[in-house]
Amino acid sequence: MTDIPKSHPRYASLVARERVAEGVKKGFTSSQGLIAQGRGECFDYLLGERTTPSAEAATTTAAALLLLAARPALSVNGNVAALAAEEMVALAGSLRIPLEVNLFHRSEERVKKIADLLREKGAEEVLGEKPDATVPGLEPARAPATRGGIYDADVVLIPLEDGDRCEALTAMGKKVIAIDLNPLSRTARKATVSIVDNILRAVPHLTDQVRQLSVYPRSDLERMVQEYDNEKVLRQAVQEIQDHLNRQFREDAS
Ligand code: ATP
């Protein structure tokens, strides 16, 4: 990896970029993943590279949804593997559920590389290498899913996903949790709960929330989910971007 000085103002962002580039070199991230990373970086820059109050609210609700679920599932693609493999393994461990490799540009070789990486990081069970079902409404190459994982889950976490899959999973009656820095993406707008935050900050935060809320009574978790309004949270995220930019201009002017 390139040596990035810790004092660099964009240190975290540059390290993330290096990780995705490394993922492409090692063959578990697709080259298109670099472009997705660039889009994410742009929105993180606009948000001020911080976890905003709207993201906090979405993360807490996401943790409640995962704890209430009868069959939760966690999806891992090439960018997620490059950026947060260890963190996803920790989240799966806190819920005692498997991870499922789920790719836009699927190749058996990439699926195996990601599954191996997750196992190397300590994952107890990784699905996705032997899909036995298809998600209706997606092109055949993108539709494979696994029974006991995403296919028959009631709640699915899809970090850094595209809008078609989010819509197809929602159409199957699932509750979908997205992690997506773009509050205007189709994924963010179609998901049940959209965490507008960088996956690097969002997944450890979500694991922490799962641990904290795991002792709450179900009725409290149900109330959190009922009171949550995703459209309101997305509007708040856009407002947080605007407020951040206004602050920047004010600071530059003073
Ligand atoms: P949609 O189809 O939902 O409109 P899209 O076409 O932008 O989305 P992709 O090109 O697949 O979808 O990009 C994936 C999404 O992941 C982008 O919205 C991007 O903002 C987001 N993203 C990229 N990197 C990160 C990251 N590190 N953390 C969180 N989100 C990210």
Binding site membership of 105 for ligand 1 (Cβ less than 6 Å) = no
Query: Nearest C-alpha to atom 12 of ligand 1 is from which residue?
Result: 162
Contact 101, 111 (CB under 8 A): yes
Q: How far is the CA of 246 from the centre of ligand 1 (A)?
A: 25
Distance from the Cα of residue 196 to its chain's centroid: 9
Which residues of 16-142 form beta strands (DSSP E)? 72-76, 99-101, 126-127, 133-134
What does pLDDT average to in each consecutive run of 10 residues of the chain (254 residues)? 77 91 95 95 95 98 98 97 98 97 91 97 97 95 94 97 95 98 97 98 98 98 98 98 93 82
Q: How far is the CA of 217 from the centre of ligand 1 (A)?
A: 34
Binding site membership of 126 for ligand 1 (Cβ less than 6 Å) = no
Residue 5, pLDDT score: 80
Q: How far is the CA of 36 from the centre of ligand 1 (A)?
A: 5
Q: How far is the CA of 239 from the centre of ligand 1 (A)?
A: 19
Residue 4, pLDDT score: 79
Query: Nearest C-alpha to atom 25 of ligand 1 is from which residue?
Result: 40
Residue 2, pLDDT score: 67
Q: How far is the CA of 218 from the centre of ligand 1 (A)?
A: 32
Domains of the chain: 53-238 (3.40.50.12640)
Q: How far is the CA of 39 from the centre of ligand 1 (A)?
A: 6
Query: Nearest C-alpha to atom 31 of ligand 1 is from which residue?
Result: 40
Contact 203, 176 (CB under 8 A): no
* pTM listed for this prediction: 0.95
Query: pLDDT for 62-79, tens place per residue?
Result: 999 999 999 999 999 999
Q: Measuring CA to CA, how many Å separate 229 from each of 56, 57, 58, 189?
A: 13, 10, 9, 12
The tokens describing 71, both together, are 């069959």
Query: Nearest C-alpha to atom 8 of ligand 1 is from which residue?
Result: 162
Residue 1, pLDDT score: 58
Binding site membership of 180 for ligand 1 (Cβ less than 6 Å) = yes
Query: Nearest C-alpha to atom 15 of ligand 1 is from which residue?
Result: 160
Query: Residue 179: what are its φ and ψ, rounded to 5°?
Result: -115, 115
Residue 7 CB partners (closer than 8 Å, separation 6+): none
Q: Measuring CA to CA, how many Å separate 198 from each of 130, 139, 247?
A: 30, 28, 21
